[in-house]
Amino acid sequence: MTRRLCSGKSAFVAPAAWIGSLVVLLAIEQAFAESSPLTLEEIHAGMKASYQRLHDATLVVEYKRVQTPEASSVIPWDESLLIKGAGDQKGYLRQRFYQRHLGVRGEMLGGGEERRWEFATDGKLVNNLQGQMGEIHDRNAFPALVSFSGFQHESYFKMLYYPLEPASIKEAQERPDVIEWLPYALTKGGYRVLAVQDQVDGTACVMVERPGEDKLWIDPSHGFAVRKREMTWGPKLGGAVRKRLTMRNLQEVAPGLWLPFLCIVEGFHKPEERLEPVRQELSVSRIEFDAEVPDSRYQIAFPVGSRVYDGRTKRWSRVLPDGEEPLDNAITMAKEQTRRRSPRWLPWAVAGVAALVLVMAAIARARKNA
């Protein structure tokens, strides 16, 4: 297996398995270099070849995320993603460490270090195991809170519009109208190649658009990477930009596969709302392609006392210390659930019992007087 660690420029050797994809990419890039107009089918083929390389690889990506105060997390945090055998769906693990702050109407509620895992082991169903330090807050207690879950924010591969989960791939193939997923949508989603070209950071790009909804700047000379993308609020709002994505500092992490080391996402409100845009940056520090990752990395060791949710059984459990029996754990979890639920129904129960006692007392008094 050829392994490449990319944090800057370095040399590599292309394995024979990649020659077919490289031939496709080189032929289309040559046509672009000779100013031959590319068809949508050629652009789709070039992008698909690059995406397939991602799909078959084992990747380690480390990056830092920074976003504006309007978003829920107002300070930087580090993330690392480990994708193993996505091509044959052996499973992947994302382990994230970051600092979080919770805020409602501008008031900070608190913060701390949080650890989350997401683990898939089935080619047809994504199974999630999530663990975090400390108690899980009840969302009902914070009605004005924007979700503080790291999974709700832009991740590196989501910015590339690359679906890794089997459920996302299935959705992308069956619903090409979901324009976030590329390259599936290009041949079925009403896109067209514009006659004009444009430059992004000094590099010539082919422009592809879905009129009034989506526009892409695609770079054939760098593995058909998406250099820029603008999605709008739709024709009814005059094509006002809803989301702008800019990819910079492209580096060749494998032959013919170029990935950005700086991703900038800008989110814009509807024109009549006149609010400041939300800006988010992902700065990549390391990408390891075809990483040699031992199976032990996929054996998650949750800290003792962590509450873990198993997406397969739809149940919570707590990690037991040595010597504690499962029955003790079940009793502890039942007590916690009772404690969390009791404030909601206990007052009503007490009031109901009191009312019943009063009614019975009134009936008894009436009978006595009779």
pLDDT tens, residue by residue, 72-110: 443 444 555 555 444 333 334 444 333 333 334 444 444
| pLDDT above 50 for 54 | yes
Identify the sign of the CA torsion 357, 362, 363, 365: positive
Of the ranges 28-42, 113-127, 133-147, 309-323, which one carries the lowest mean pLDDT score?
133-147
Region 325-334: what's the mean pLDDT? Answer: 60
Q: In this predicted structure, what is the pLDDT of residue 330?
A: 61
Of the ranges 128-137, 289-298, 322-331, which one carries the lowest mean pLDDT score?
128-137
Q: In this predicted structure, what is the pLDDT of residue 282?
A: 84
Percent helix / strand / coil, the chain, rounded to 5: 30, 35, 35
| pLDDT above 70 for 185 | yes
Q: In this predicted structure, what is the pLDDT of residue 219?
A: 95
Q: In this predicted structure, what is the pLDDT of residue 93?
A: 42
DSSP 268: -
| pLDDT above 50 for 10 | no
pLDDT tens, residue by residue, 231-269: 888 888 888 899 899 999 999 998 888 999 999 988 888
| pLDDT above 80 for 157 | no
Residue 163: cis peptide before it, omega within 30 degrees of 0: no
Confidence of residue 283 (pLDDT cuts 50, 70, 90): confident
Q: Which residue has the higher pLDDT, 177 or 205?
A: 205
- High-pLDDT (> 70) share of the chain, %: 45
The per-residue DSSP string of 272-332 comes to: GG--PPEEEEEEEEEEEET----GGGGS--PPTT-EEEETTTTEEEEPPPTT--HHHHHHH
Quote the CA–CA distance of 352 and 301 in Å, as a whole number. Answer: 46
Q: In this predicted structure, what is the pLDDT of residue 114?
A: 44
Question: Cβ atoms within 10 A of the Cβ of 38, count?
Answer: 20
Return the amino acid letter for 357: V
* Average pLDDT for the chain: 65
* First CA to last CA distance, the chain: 96
Quote the CA–CA distance of 98 and 115 in Å, as a whole number. Answer: 7
DSSP 134: S
| pLDDT above 70 for 224 | yes
Quote the CA–CA distance of 221 and 203 in Å, as a whole number. Answer: 9
Q: Which residue has the higher pLDDT, 148 or 244?
A: 244
Region 122-141: what's the mean pLDDT? Answer: 36
Region 199-205: what's the mean pLDDT? Answer: 92
Confidence of residue 148 (pLDDT cuts 50, 70, 90): very low
Q: In this predicted structure, what is the pLDDT of residue 134?
A: 32
Quote the CA–CA distance of 181 and 231 in Å, as a whole number. Answer: 13
Quote the CA–CA distance of 117 and 308 in Å, as a whole number. Answer: 10
Quote the CA–CA distance of 175 and 181 in Å, as a whole number. Answer: 9
